[in-house]
């Protein structure tokens, strides 16, 4: 249910605007310092209309989210499997599709604020992760039986992930024995995305990792990355980068390198709920 859990603490850094990139996972973030400040655009994130919340829930968004990264910050970010949304969040991931940054209390209720206070009450990371794991296990155990995901949708997501978003929609429909229209309706209601958009996002995530690896080995060969990740050509890959990051692959890499050099690395642990 939980893909990854990352604890972070930083201080003394210059304020920057961080891009939260789309991914095939939902986001659950507990800020243990000041509120998270962000928006759907750089302008909104820096304006009086910015969203400010101590707990963030994020759906499967298709554009980058912009977050103000303050000089001092501390928190835990969880990446949740989208098909675990019913059990862990109490609603399907499709219900989160209208907003990219959602105040967590609106989804999780008052108990989440109590958990945040307990997380702030200890500096021990192992204790913090244990508190969150226990909290999510309780939510999953208390989930109503009618929150189960339809098996056709679960199998469709698994098939797309196994093909890293490069499989055909015709092959997917045959695999789950549903017509494309019926599958699309069920899949969109559960995740907020059509199978085609979910596949495209998974393929981009694979390509993004490939771009980072390729950049570490010398001159960046975007054509090779595109071919290896199932893109039609180099231009097709660049178009996806522009949609999901707002910039070109080379501009995104340069930005990421600046973030790492500025000290924006994080302690990371992985566990299952």
Q: Residue 92, class by beta-carbon neighbours within 10 Å (0-12 exposed, 13-18 middle, 19+ buried)?
A: buried
pLDDT of residue 120: 97
Domain limits, the chain: 2-146+264-269, 151-258
Q: Domain 151-258 adopts which CATH fold? A: Arc Repressor Mutant, subunit A (1.10.10)
pLDDT of residue 114: 97
The yes/no answer on whether domain 2-146+264-269 falls in CATH 2.60.120 is: yes
pLDDT of residue 18: 87
Q: Kind and range of the H or E element at 251?
A: helix 249-261
CA distance 135 to 132: 5
Instruction: Give the contacts of 219 (CB within 8 A, at least 6 positions apart).
Output: none
Q: Kind and range of the H or E element at 52?
A: strand 51-53
- Please check whether residue 51 is in contact with residue 101, taking contact to mean a CB–CB distance below 8 angstroms: yes
Q: Which segments of the chain have a pLDDT < 70?
A: 217, 257-273
Examine domains 2-146+264-269 and 151-258 and report if their fold is the same. Answer: no
């Amino acid at each position: 249910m939980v893909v990854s859990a990352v604890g972070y603490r930083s201080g003394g850094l210059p304020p920057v605007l961080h891009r939260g990139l789309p991914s095939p996972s939902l986001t659950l973030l507990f800020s243990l310092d000041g509120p998270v400040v962000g928006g759907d655009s750089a302008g909104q994130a820096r304006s009086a209309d910015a969203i400010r919340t101590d707990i963030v829930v994020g759906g499967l968004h298709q554009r980058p989210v912009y977050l103000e990264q303050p000089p001092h910050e501390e928190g835990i970010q969880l990446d949740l499997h989208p098909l675990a949304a019913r059990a862990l969040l109490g609603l399907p991931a499709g219900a989160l599709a209208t907003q990219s940054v959602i105040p967590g209390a609106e989804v999780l209720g008052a108990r989440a604020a109590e958990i945040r206070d307990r997380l702030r009450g200890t500096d021990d990371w192992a204790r913090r992760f244990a508190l969150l794991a226990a909290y999510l296990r309780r939510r999953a155990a208390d989930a109503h039986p009618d929150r189960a995901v339809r098996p056709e949708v679960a199998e469709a997501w698994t098939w797309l992930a196994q093909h890293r978003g490069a499989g055909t929609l015709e092959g997917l429909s045959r695999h789950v024995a549903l017509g494309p229209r019926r599958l699309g309706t069920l899949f969109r209601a559960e995740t907020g995305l059509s199978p085609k958009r979910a596949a495209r996002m998974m393929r981009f995530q694979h390509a993004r990792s490939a771009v980072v690896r390729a950049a570490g080995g010398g001159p960046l060969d975007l054509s090779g990355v595109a071919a290896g990740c199932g893109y039609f050509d180099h231009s097709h890959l660049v178009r996806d980068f522009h949609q999901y990051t707002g910039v070109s692959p080379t501009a995104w890499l340069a930005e990421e390198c600046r973030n790492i050099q500025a000290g924006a690395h994080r302690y990371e642990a992985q566990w299952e709920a």
